[in-house]
């Protein structure tokens, strides 16, 4: 499975200043498997990225579990190059294990001193 890189269609713009290329290059350099999804040019048609991130700028990364990651491209690049991309996926409990919050339900609240 690969993450999806939602990006603009200007794929010829391979300069560091270009936000989408900055992030795509970081994925390539770090050997992260990804699928490129070129989004529509018109902001009003960017329904997927808007639904996933709450804003309409690219680039954005969609994880296999359906969660999304979007920050300023320089921050995204840093996260990827530091090997911390997976930390940005939504945390899901392994099947069969209750979420921490559910497990805590019914317990006495901690005493504050
Ligand atoms: N400062 C933002 C800029 C993001 C940005 O402008 N992305 C471009 C695509 S490379 C975009 O979505 N442009 C379309 C628009 O602004 O409507 C970043 O670095 O992430």
The rounded Å distance from CA 7 to ligand 1 centre is 9
pLDDT digits (tens, 9 = 90+) for 77-113: 999 999 999 999 986 555 544 444 444 455 555 566 5
Q: How far apart are CA 12 and CA 101, in angstroms?
A: 47
Q: What is the pLDDT of residue 100?
A: 44
Q: Whose CA is nearest to atom 12 of ligand 1?
A: 57
Per-residue pLDDT of 59-79, as tens digits, reads 999 999 999 999 999 999 999
Q: Which of 16, 19, 36 to mutate to test the pocket of ligand 1 (most atoms within 8 A of CB)?
A: 19
Residue range 30-52, pLDDT digits in tens: 999 999 999 888 877 889 999 99
70 CA: nearest ligand 1 atom: 20
How far apart are alpha carbons 28 and 36 in whole angstroms?
A: 11
User: What is the pLDDT, as a whole number, of residue 62?
Assistant: 97
Distance 58 CA to ligand 1 centre (A): 5
Burial class from Cβ neighbours inside 10 Å (0-12, 13-18, 19+) for residue 87 reads exposed
Mean pLDDT of the chain: 86
19-29 and 73-81 are packed helices; what angle lies between their axes, rounded to 10 degrees? Answer: 0
Closest ligand 1 atom, CA of 18?
10
Token pair of 93, please? 């409990």
Domain boundaries, the chain: 3-90
Higher pLDDT, 22 or 109: 22
The pLDDT score that the predictor gives to residue 99 is 43
Q: Please tell me the CATH code under which domain 3-90 is placed.
A: 3.40.30.10
Q: Specify the pTM.
A: 0.80
């Amino acid at each position: 499975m690969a993450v999806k890189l939602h990006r603009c269609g200007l794929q010829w713009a391979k300069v560091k200043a270009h936000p989408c290329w900055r992030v795509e290059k970081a994925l390539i350099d770090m050997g992260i498997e990804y699928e490129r999804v070129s989004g529509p040019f018109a902001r009003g048609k960017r329904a997927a990225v808007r639904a996933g991130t709450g804003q309409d700028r690219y680039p954005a990364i969609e994880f296999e579990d359906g969660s999304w990651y979007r920050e300023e491209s320089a921050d995204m690049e840093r996260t990827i190059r530091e090997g911390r991309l997976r930390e940005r996926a939504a945390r899901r409990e392994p099947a069969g294990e209750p979420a921490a919050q559910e497990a805590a339900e019914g317990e006495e609240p901690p005493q504050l001193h």
